[in-house]
Amino acid sequence: MTASNWTLVMEGEWMLKFYAPWCPSCQQTDSEWETFAKNGEILQISVGKVDVIQEPGLSGRFFVTTLPAFFHAKDGIFRRYRGPGVYEDLQNYILEKKWQSVEPLTGWKSPSSLTMSGMAGLFSISGKIWHLHNYFTVTLGVPAWCSYVFFVVATLIFGLLMGLVLVVISECFSMPLPRHLSEHSGTYDTFMRYSIFGILGLRFCAHTEEAHAAEQLQDAEEEKEDSNEEENKDSLVDEEEEKEELGDEDEAEEEEEDGPATGADEESGAAQDPAPREAREDLGPDVGPDEALDAASEQPPSTDAEVAEDTLRQRRSQHADKGPSA
């Protein structure tokens, strides 16, 4: 099968093998493939093979990366066969219709797509360059490095020519502007350029102003924090002074309360001990307090009648004193 008749696989059922004469794996499956091709009529299938050396365009169209490569085609739908190239496996693949469980090559991967057609053209060009290199090195006997230099220079020259052709085409299809429009366009470009610079400058100034304002806010916050810390310190000092003053006042009040209490205790002691003092005075200075207490306890207690008589006497004496003076 060649690039000129490959469209035959778009109709009916086909099995294709891609090989190269120098490939050992391809040589091992040649006999099995020949047997499979002879029985193609029995299996109701067409069998073909492609030499990738002679037909690089077809290898690019099917995107062959390993050898040997097998493909199944059914009414223009292609599938990759990844089993061994043995006759029995190939026969079972067709008879049991195992190809139905294989995902087909659709979209851009299909050999009939536009993408693979471009890939076929690139592979064809590369094949022609390879044949030309063999012609220089084998037939003419030119060193390999000279062939490589020739292809590099040819590539550069071809690229320059293609660029020149594109420039000429663009100049032919693009209409030149009138002079007044070109002047206006130049003025407009200058205006737009300065406008862009002005906008950038305004944005820069706004950014700097925002940064300055942010710094001022940060400084104000720091000053507030410092003032708050000082106020807290002053309040703590005032509280401590107030606590000290309150402690001094409490101590003074306790001392004042203790003074009258002691005086009252002395007076109560004196009131409770009148008899012993009088007894001590009657007994004499040499009598001790214990003896005076014993003497006071030995005296007979006074009755209520005696107390009443004493009070009457005192009142009479008071009236008698008031009478002559009046």
DSSP state of 136: I
Residues 6+ positions from 25 with CB-CB distance below 8 Å: 67, 68
Residue 108 to residue 173: CA distance in whole angstroms: 33
Span 290-302, average pLDDT = 46
6-118 homologous superfamily: Glutaredoxin (3.40.30.10)
Span 194-209, average pLDDT = 69
Whole-number average pLDDT of the chain: 76
- What is residue 81's predicted lDDT score, i.e. its pLDDT? 94
- What is residue 193's predicted lDDT score, i.e. its pLDDT? 65
Whether the Cβ atoms of residue 54 and residue 19 lie closer than 8 Å to each other:
no
Parallel, antiparallel or unpaired: strands 13-19 and 69-74: antiparallel
Instruction: Inform me whether the pLDDT recorded for 14 exceeds 90.
Output: yes
Among the listed residues 23, 146, 172, 205, the single catalytic one is: 23
Catalytic status, residue 23 = yes
- Residue-range domain boundaries for the chain: 6-118
Span 319-326, average pLDDT = 50
Q: Calculate the CA 282 to chain-centre distance.
A: 110
Q: How far is CA 105 from CA 64, 109, 116, 119, 226, in A?
A: 13, 6, 11, 15, 77
Instruction: Inform me whether the pLDDT recorded for 78 exceeds 90.
Output: yes
Asked, as a colleague might, if the bond just before 68 is cis with ω within 30 of 0, I would say: yes
Catalytic status, residue 205 = no
The least confident of 54-68, 144-158, 253-267, 291-305 is 291-305
Across 191-205, 218-232, 288-302, the highest mean pLDDT is recorded for 218-232
